[in-house]
């Protein structure tokens, strides 16, 4: 299977999980989970949330992002991976001046 994010319409979710501005994404969703190309514009964030039923693996392609993971503040940039295991919580914020772009896999995600 080939997933071509360039052929998908980008959707915007305002205040995602209580975050600021918009979280923009292109997603492939099936019964096995979600595969996501996500983007946070400068100043945008994804609010604090817990992965109750799945984990999330995020590979950062562009920009810089601040992640609050279980009370610890982490700075991530292109080429790094953030892993949030099942049962753990995190939030992301783009405090940079360019878009933060990431590829995420959420297995067994509704």
Residue 110, pLDDT > 70, answer: no
Q: Which domains does the chain have, with CATH numbers?
A: 13-70+77-95 (2.60.120.10)
Report how far residue 102's alpha carbon sits from residue 34's, in angstroms, rounded to the nearest whole number.
14
Alpha helices in 27-67 (DSSP H): none
| % of the chain surpassing 70 pLDDT | 98
| % of the chain surpassing 90 pLDDT | 95
Which pLDDT score, from 0 to 100, does residue 65 have?
Answer: 96
pLDDT tens for each residue of 55-75: 999 999 999 999 999 889 999
pLDDT band for 23, please (50, 70, 90 cuts): very high
Q: What is the mean pLDDT of residues 28-56?
A: 96
Report how far residue 78's alpha carbon sits from residue 17's, in angstroms, rounded to the nearest whole number.
24
């Amino acid at each position: 299977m080939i997933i071509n994010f360039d052929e998908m319409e980008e959707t915007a979710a305002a205040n995602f999980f209580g975050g600021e501005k918009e979280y923009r994404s292109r997603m492939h969703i099936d019964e096995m989970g979600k595969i996501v190309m996500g983007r946070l514009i400068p100043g945008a964030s994804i609010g604090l949330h817990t992965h109750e039923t799945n984990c999330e693996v995020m590979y950062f392609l562009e920009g810089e992002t601040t992640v609050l993971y279980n009370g610890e503040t982490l700075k991530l940039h292109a080429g790094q991976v953030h892993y949030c295991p099942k049962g753990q919580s995190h939030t992301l914020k783009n405090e940079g001046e360019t878009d933060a772009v990431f590829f995420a896999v959420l297995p067994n995600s509704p």
